[in-house]
């Protein structure tokens, strides 16, 4: 199982971004085997991006998100006090973006490597990264 950072999830769904064909193929394979996980934070980030017009959906957000987190191919990980507390395992130098902190904490708590291209997360060394560029 791997945890997707928000940008990786959206790039995969929209077919854009920096994902190489090999990354897309791997994500497709993992999805077919129900080996993808997503933090609830990514759903929140997607809603904000849609509201701000930074992503363009061809349907209502509620319909889109229902399809985008279909349990047939992705496991949505919820928030709880343990995720909040797991942030305390991040190094003091880990940046202060709340979404990134919660996603990183979810990775630590679940012990799922994080598929991310975010250099700030990668360079922190706090999270096991699935890919590194």
Q: Residue 64 CB: number of other CB atoms within 10 A? A: 17
> Which one-letter DSSP state was computed for residue 115?
E
**Longest CA span, the chain:** 41
Q: Residue 35 CB: number of other CB atoms within 10 A? A: 16
pLDDT at 79: 85
pLDDT of 133 above 90:
no
pLDDT band at 131; cut points 50, 70, 90: confident
pLDDT at 132: 56
Q: For the domain bounded by 2-124, which CATH number is listed?
A: 3.40.50.1010
pLDDT band at 118; cut points 50, 70, 90: very high
Give the domain ranges of the chain: 2-124
From residue 18, alpha-carbon distances to 23, 65, 66, 98, 133 in Å are: 9, 22, 25, 23, 9
């Amino acid at each position: 199982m791997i945890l997707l950072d928000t940008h990786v999830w959206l790039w995969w769904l929209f077919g854009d971004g920096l994902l190489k064909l090999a990354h897309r193929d791997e994500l497709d394979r993992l999805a077919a085997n129900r080996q993808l996980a997503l933090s609830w934070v990514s759903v929140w980030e997607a809603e904000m991006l849609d509201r701000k017009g930074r992503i363009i959906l061809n349907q209502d957000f509620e319909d889109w998100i229902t399809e985008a987190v279909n349990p047939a191919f992705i496991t949505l990980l919820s928030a709880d006090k343990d995720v909040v507390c797991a942030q305390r395992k991040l190094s003091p130098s880990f940046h202060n973006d709340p979404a990134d902190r919660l996603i990183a904490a979810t990775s630590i708590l679940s012990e799922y490597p994080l598929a991310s291209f975010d250099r700030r997360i990668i360079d922190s060394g706090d999270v096991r990264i699935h890919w590194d560029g």
